[in-house]
Amino acid sequence: MAEWLTVALPKGRLGEKVYARFAEAGYPCPEILSDTRQLIFENPELKVRYFWAKPSDVSIYVEQGAADIGVAGKDILMEYRPDVYELLDLKTGKCRMAVAAPEGAWLDPERTLRVATKFTRIAKDYYAGLGRDIEIIHLNGSIEIAPLLRLSDVIVDIVETGTTLRENHLEVIDTVAHLSARLIANKASYAFKRERIAALMTALEV
Ligand code: PRP
């Protein structure tokens, strides 16, 4: 009999889309959509167990082996570089990591650029590649406010529809990376539950 497979899903809109993909692929667990405070959901017939986690925590559960499999945005994988296998691009939750500034702003190339972001490592790597001196201002959300109130010159943040930027008179000046949801696996689980994981990957790919 197959082993149990524990799957960490990111809470929120992306997670619901991703769960639908798993259900269509033959791994349903209908309870997961019920209105409850329960955190872990099991389908004993299929021996699959799901739980919701904060998107940035999914890779921690998977890296530590508390979950065998998880779904995380490429942004999280680039920022935290968890020691996991990245198995599949699920091609959902597509967006990009971009640099944005107030519309028409002139950025003095001689001055240290002040960059507000939640994604410190991604921003540092990007500007290191350009050989540009920067000062990072680490924020935890609503990053778009920073350049409006002159806390920073630019932001490095996720852009999906572009609505947030437009409504705040900001514009994209460069794309840092294209992002989407990725299927990730714990390294030991991948070795010990290889067949189950391979079957799941095949089912998700079609
Ligand atoms: C994300 C991102 C942008 C917004 C982009 O924020 O940080 O603010 O979505 O989406 P759009 O291009 O479709 O407008 P999120 O809602 O995750 O919250 P945050 O401000 O806490 O980062």
Which atom in ligand 1 lies closest to the alpha carbon of residue 162? 12
The share of the chain scoring above pLDDT 70, in percent, equals: 100
**Residue 160 banded pLDDT, cuts 50, 70, 90:** very high
pLDDT at 99: 98
pLDDT at 175 over 80: yes
Whole-number pLDDT of residue 62: 98
Q: Is 12 a pocket residue for ligand 1 (Cβ < 6 Å)? A: no
The ligand 1 atom at the shortest distance from the C-alpha of residue 95 is: 12
pLDDT value for 76: 96
The pLDDT value recorded for residue 104 is: 96
Contacts of 62 (CB under 8 A, 6+ apart): 8, 68, 69, 70, 72, 82, 84, 184, 185, 186
Confidence class for position 186, pLDDT limits 50, 70, 90: very high
**pLDDT band per the 50, 70, 90 thresholds, residue 70:** very high
| pLDDT at position 205 over 60 | yes
pLDDT at position 1 over 70: no
Give the number of other Cβ atoms within 10 Å of residue 50's Cβ: 24
Q: How confident is the model at residue 206 (pLDDT cuts 50, 70, 90)?
A: confident
The alpha carbon of 183 and the centre of ligand 1 are apart by a number of angstroms equal to 22
**Global pTM value:** 0.93
Q: Is 94 in the pocket of ligand 1 (CB under 6 A)?
A: no
The CB of 56 under 6 Å from ligand 1? The reply is: no
Helix, strand, or coil here: 182? Answer: strand
Q: Tell me what pLDDT residue 35 has.
A: 84
Ligand 1 centre and the CA of 163: distance in Å?
9
Band of pLDDT at residue 34, cut at 50, 70 and 90: confident
* Residue 60 to residue 70: CA distance in whole angstroms: 10
